[in-house]
Amino acid sequence: MKRYLEDTAATEQFGQELWEKLPSKCVVFLHGELGAGKTTLVRGFLRAAGHTGAVKSPTYNLVEEYQVHDRKIFHFDLYRVADPEELEWIGIRDYLAQDCVCFIEWSEMGQGFLPKPDMEITLLVQGEGRELLMDSH
């Protein structure tokens, strides 16, 4: 699927639409350069789920955890991972074994330790907007 998102609000809106479509257990890889809107998309998903708190990029923590009603959502950012083996140290298998939605940015940094995703979303900067490419597996 290909779609144009004209601004930040449209990117967040798409995240809200994902809330209705994704199962309670899935892995979503998010691709795109820095500032492409990956966290904005996750924010939209969380807002649709009922989360009212801050939604920040997990760049320095590697993972942000959210419990919304009876669902768990994990947002990973592997940008700063120097070696995929670091994922073992943070307990990636334990996270992925749960009934949860896992959004993973910079998944290529975890190659060999991550499962095949259920969905891949790529955001490409196009002026003020974004081109969104989505592939379900």
Structural domain count, the chain: 1
SS3 11: helix
Mean pLDDT of 105-133: 93
- C-alpha 80 chain-centroid distance: 16
pTM metric for this prediction: 0.93
Mean pLDDT of 58-85: 89
Quick check: 60 pLDDT over 80?
A: no
Distance, in Å, from the CA atom of 125 to the CA atom of 131, rounded to the nearest integer, reads 7
39-54 pLDDT tens trace: 999 999 999 999 998 8
| CA distances for 59 relative to 13, 19, 68, angstroms | 23, 23, 21
pLDDT computed for residue 134 by the predictor: 96
What CATH number does the domain containing 96 carry?
3.40.50.300
- Dig out the tokens for 109 from the structure: 């940094």
Containing structural domain, residue 68: 2-136
